[in-house]
């Protein structure tokens, strides 16, 4: 399948912004300049979740929905809005964050409305499993980002309340526990078994949508039974993912340098992620809803399981599929990227759970300094290699008859 030019551009912008995420991550892991301030940490966070992950998701939404020559939203403007918001986080200026956060929300809303419109013209009762997952994922993104802008405006007006902490928890839960899981499961299904519509696929997405919503509402209103409902919904949906994609995963060659192995490893992280969310919910309940008493290492482990294990594998897989018809620049890099990223994220997240967060540690004194860089260097190698391949011209179909 030929990918739209907009998809290729979205991947290029996403990779460029991901370089910033990975570089800040490397500095934070090694602590070569000491501990990072909150503005830089929020830049690391949102350059990763918006600049890398969401730009990539926009690109894939375009590839899924913009068939038959229909144009999608403007990719370059979306990238500009994203870069502006990431820089606003870095500046530490609350007014800039509120303004550019609102612009970012409008951009996200535009993509969601377009995907909703395309789904309605095709027929909500007919669209494939990956499209439903993308539509519900972007719906959750709109809800989670609206909460984000409300927090941002409260901060700008110096009008935070005791509820602001709950809003931040609800924002993070909707985005990570809802949006990311939905889009990732839809995208890997597309790559592993193709586009089809089945009852199992629809039920799985609906369960994941309600899981994200109940996690967010449980955090927002401190309703602990909702957190337990989330656990049940997520466990059922994750078992469905493993059963439904299992045969395709078993057929995947772990040695072949294609996007398939990046997609096939994602369910492993979904299983680890759900186990970590169950552990997190237990800790939150034990702490009587006070998230500040939950170990930071557990939260950061959960973050990277989803941001790198689930989403970066999904997007690297998508880029490999999109560039399959181009020259494979630096073929030696593929195994280093795949194994480095995965062994890196597994060892880093294991250290965060067992030893705890490296926050406050001295340079090179915490095991995070020796595990996270494996992941960060593999990510940087991926960024350079895939950027070079995206610049190559697609192979032209040769005429079977010589001219």
List 32's β-bridge partners, or say none.
34
State the nearest-atom distance from the C-beta of 358 to ligand HEM, in Å: 3
Q: Is 168 in the site for ligand HEM (CB under 6 A)?
A: yes
- CA dist 178 and 174 (Å) reads 5
36-75 mask for ligand HEM (x: CB under 6 A)? -----xx-xxx-xxx-xxx---------------------
Among positions 119-158, residues that touch ligand HEM (CB under 6 A) are 145, 148-149, 151-152
For the bound state, the minimum distance from the C-beta of residue 155 to ligand HEM, rounded and expressed in Å, comes to 6
* Sequence-distant (≥ 6) Cβ neighbours of residue 94 within 8 angstroms: 152, 155, 156
The answer to whether 359 contacts ligand HEM (rule: CB under 6 A) is: yes
Do residues 137 and 179 touch, judged by C-beta distance below 8 A?
yes
Give the per-residue contact string, 221-260, with ligand HEM (x = CB under 6 A; - = no): ----------------------------------------
Q: Which residue has the tokens 């772990």?
A: 254
* DSSP string computed for 61-110: HHHHH--TT---S-HHHHHHHHHHHHHHHHHT-HHHHHHHHHHHHHHHHH
CB 375 within 8 A of CB 348: yes
Beta bridge partners of 150: none
Using rule CB under 6 A, residue 262 touches ligand HEM: no
Please say which residue, 148 or 201, places its beta carbon nearer to ligand HEM.
Answer: 148
Residue 358 binds to ligand HEM (criterion: CB under 6 A): yes
Write down the least CB distance from residue 260 to ligand HEM, Å: 22
- Separation of alpha carbons 42 and 51, rounded Å: 12
Cβ neighbour number for residue 378 with a 10 Å cutoff: 25
Point out which residues bind ligand HEM (CB under 6 A).
Answer: 21-22, 25-26, 28-29, 41-42, 44-46, 48-50, 52-54, 101, 104-105, 108, 145, 148-149, 151-152, 168, 171-172, 175-176, 179-180, 296-297, 300, 303-304, 307-308, 352, 357-359, 368, 372-373, 375-376, 379
């Amino acid at each position: 399948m030929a990918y739209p030019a907009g998809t290729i551009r979205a991947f290029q912008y996403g990779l460029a912004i991901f370089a910033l995420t990975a570089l800040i991550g490397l500095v934070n892991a090694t602590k070569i300049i000491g501990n990072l301030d909150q503005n830089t940490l929020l830049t690391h966070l949102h350059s990763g979740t918006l600049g890398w992950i969401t730009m990539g998701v926009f690109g894939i939404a375009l590839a899924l929905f913009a068939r038959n020559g229909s144009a999608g939203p403007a990719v370059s403007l979306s990238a500009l809005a994203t870069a502006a918001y990431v820089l606003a986080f870095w500046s530490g200026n609350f007014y800039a964050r509120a303004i550019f956060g609102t612009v970012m929300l409008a951009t996200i809303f535009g993509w969601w409305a377009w995907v909703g419109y395309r789904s309605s013209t095709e027929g909500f009762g007919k669209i494939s499993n990956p499209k439903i997952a993308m539509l519900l994922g972007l719906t959750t993104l709109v809800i989670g980002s609206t909460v984000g802008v409300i927090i941002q405006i409260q901060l700008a007006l110096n009008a935070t309340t005791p509820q602001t902490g709950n809003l931040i928890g609800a924002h993070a839960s909707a985005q990570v526990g809802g949006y990311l899981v939905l889009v990732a499961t839809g995208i890997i299904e597309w790559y592993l078994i193709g586009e089809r519509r089945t009852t199992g696929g629809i039920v799985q997405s609906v369960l994941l949508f309600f899981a994200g919503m109940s996690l967010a509402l449980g955090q927002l209103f401190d309703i602990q039974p909702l957190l337990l409902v989330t656990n049940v919904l997520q466990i059922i949906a994750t078992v469905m993912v493993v059963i439904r994609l299992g045969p395709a995963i078993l057929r995947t060659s772990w040695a072949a340098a294609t996007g398939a192995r990046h997609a096939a490893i994602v369910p492993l992280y979904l299983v680890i992620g759900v186990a970590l969310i169950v552990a997190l919910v237990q800790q939150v309940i034990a702490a009587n809803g006070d998230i500040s008493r939950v170990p930071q290492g557990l939260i950061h482990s959960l973050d990277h399981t989803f941001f790198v294990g689930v989403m970066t594998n999904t997007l690297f897989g998508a880029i490999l599929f999109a560039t399959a018809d181009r020259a494979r620049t630096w073929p030696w890099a593929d195994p280093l990227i795949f194994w480095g990223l995965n062994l890196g994220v597994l060892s880093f997240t294991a250290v965060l759970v067992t030893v705890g967060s490296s926050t406050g540690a001295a340079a090179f004194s915490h095991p995070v300094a020796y595990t996270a860089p494996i992941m960060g260097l593999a990510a940087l190698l991926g960024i350079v290699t895939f950027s070079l391949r995206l610049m190559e011209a697609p192979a032209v179909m040769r005429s079977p008859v010589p001219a």
